[in-house]
Amino acid sequence: MRISIFYIPTGSPEEARQLGQKAIEDKLAVCSNSFAIQSLYPWEGQIEQDNEFVLILKTLPANNEALQAFLEKHHSYKVPCILRWEADVNDAYGNWMKEILRINL
């Protein structure tokens, strides 16, 4: 079974938790993970170094557009990074995801 994985850097552990919790409550995702990272990136002519917190969300492809729209609307960054890819998952986990998200595939 194919699922979608979203990778979203955020500015704080609170933002990662809040976005993850709301996505799960709204049945846009079934699971959220977050962890601290060190980031380097160019911004407004300078190289920035920040402590960020990556949010990983797991969902089904049918939710991709809605989850991306949710993240774009609620993320605190002016230009958030929202990466998405598909992966294979074992049937038991995939079926659990379908039950939680109430998606009939």
Our measurement of the distance from residue 43's CA atom to the centroid of its chain's CA atoms, rounded to an integer in Å, reads: 23
pLDDT at 102: 82
Residue 105 has pLDDT above 70, yes or no: no
CA–CA separation, 93 and 43 (whole Å): 39
Instruction: Give residue limits of the domains in the chain.
Output: 2-101
Q: Residue 61 is encoded by which pair of tokens?
A: 């492809």
Calculate mean pLDDT across residues 14-35.
98
CA–CA separation, 88 and 4 (whole Å): 9
- pLDDT tens digits for 48-96? 999 999 999 999 999 999 999 999 999 999 999 999 999 999 999 999 9
CATH class of 2-101: alpha beta
Crossing angle of helices 64-74 and 13-25, in 10° steps, is 140
